[in-house]
Amino acid sequence: MGLNNQWMQRDLAVLWHPCTQMKDHQQLPLIPIKRGEGVWLEDFEGKRYLDAVSSWWVNVFGHANPRINQRIKDQVDQLEHVILAGFSHQPVIELSERLVQMTPEGLTRCFYADNGSSCIEVALKMSFHYWLNRGLPDKKRFVTLTNSYHGETIAAMSVGDVPLFTETYKALLLDTIKVPSPDCYLRPEGMSWEEHSRNMFLAMEQTLADNHDTVAAVIVEPLIQGAGGMRMYHPVYLKLLREACDRYGVHLIHDEIAVGFGRTGTMFACEQAGIRPDFLCLSKALTGGYLPLAAVVTTDDVYDAFYDDYPTLRAFLHSHSYTGNPLACAAALATLDIFEEDNVIENNKALAQRMATATAHLVDHPHVSEVRQTGMVLAIEMVQDKATKTAYPWQERRGLKVFEHALERGALLRPLGSVVYFLPPYVITPEQIDFLADVASEGIDIATNSNVSVAVPKDFHPGFRDPG
């Protein structure tokens, strides 16, 4: 029995993995990873895999980055953790100062959580509680986009709309208002992204006009709906939304957990619309992919609504044991140093262009309906019928065939259903991008040439897809 198999058997005896039907591992080998370096992950038998999805969208400067490693090592000898209620420490103060400095003007206060879902919960609770403290208790509903994803805790699921994650738990979820997504994949033939996004905003405008008295906030994933299949839209939608939220007295929450820190081509996606949300939710790449940390960056107006004498009970009583953990903050500070010192955003423009060039031939593939890109995120959508954009039945798991082929070739490509995507660390080289394009092309040929036949239940969860 090889080393990989030994570790796999030990794992399967005791672990329950996330977003996984564990029975799949009767046929699909689990891959134990021993070490990482740069874009590469290496298993216990020495085989390497190029991490094309940044280990679930978190890694930006490569595995075992020496600069981030050193910052954490220095910090662990000073302070590993301290309660953040009534106490503070240098890394969390410095990180907060830098986040306030680098985010849009007017975002002045940082509140920390442990992960993306918890970050969304903070923003939702904060918005509701703000209106309560301002004497408007009826403003307690949230508006969200169809096909959106904001996490897997209860309130975060409530403002999501990917059936795979929400359908089972419908009985537990909050009552939210869902507005059609500006997703440009669905635009009419010949219509630009901007025109389609403008047209789709009409539904949001009407929703806010009709419901603003009871709405606390609108929450969106700016520019890219990640778990919804890397669907993308034009920044003009965000500009129109900011104007409408101001007009109707509704908060705007930007979930930049997946798209912040350079993924869309700017440091934050909201910059492309020239706007400032009331709550900016950050996580994932915040620590370079090293440690769990999330931040909600908000305004003095929100902060002031909670600032009062204790007996008024207006304080925001929300906490996590590891809030503002010094080690995680140290990793985040090292990550921000690299952004600042290495001209990352500008350098990524060339990498993004190489991704576009390397995959351009797939536009003509008979079973590819679209190759779309925003910054350092590129998605390739496989379909049964190109002319009508008829999707493959989700039960056929075409993306799984791409995933399996990529593993054989030494790449970690984990599609979202029938959407193959690249979301690599920023230390990837042009040659490595070309390799990924070759692997993806081969995998798409294999996946779309096979005649998979499955029994498809009538309309049963038609929006389901393999999670990415």
CA dihedral 272, 380, 339, 103 (to 10 degrees): 30
Residue 290, exposed/middle/buried by CB under 10 A (0-12, 13-18, 19+)? Answer: buried
Residue 116 is assigned to a ligand binding site:
yes
**Of 420, 342, 422, which is closest to residue 376 (Cα–Cα)?**
422
Q: Which two tokens stand for residue 466?
A: 């393999």
Residue 284 is assigned to a ligand binding site:
yes
Residue 319 is assigned to a ligand binding site:
yes
Q: What are phi and psi of 219, to 5 degrees?
A: -120, 135
Residue 148 is assigned to a ligand binding site:
no
Q: What is the rounded CA–CA span in Å between residue 330 and residue 337?
A: 11
Query: Strand pairing partners for 334?
Result: none
Residue 242 is assigned to a ligand binding site:
no
Strand order in the sheet with 33-37: 33-37, 40-43, 48-51, 411-412
Q: What is the rounded CA–CA span in Å between residue 5 and residue 44?
A: 9
Q: Tokens 């007996």 correspond to what residue? A: 311
Angle at 261 between CA 258 and CA 267, to 5 degrees: 125
How far CA 43 is from CA of 186, 288, 346, in Å, comes to: 40, 22, 33
Residue 414 is assigned to a ligand binding site:
yes
Residue 101, exposed/middle/buried by CB under 10 A (0-12, 13-18, 19+)? Answer: exposed
Long-range contacts of 435-441 (CB under 8 A, 24+ apart): 435/50, 435/411, 436/50, 436/52, 436/358, 436/411, 437/355, 437/358, 437/359, 439/405, 439/406, 439/409, 439/410, 439/411, 439/413, 440/359, 440/362, 440/380, 440/402, 440/406, 440/413, 441/359, 441/361, 441/362
Other C-beta atoms within 10 Å of 1: how many? 7
Residue 283 is assigned to a ligand binding site:
no
Binding residues for pyridoxal 5'-phosphate are: 116-117, 255, 320-321
Binding residues for substrate are: 56, 149, 284, 319, 414
Binding residues are: 56, 116-117, 149, 255, 284, 319-321, 414
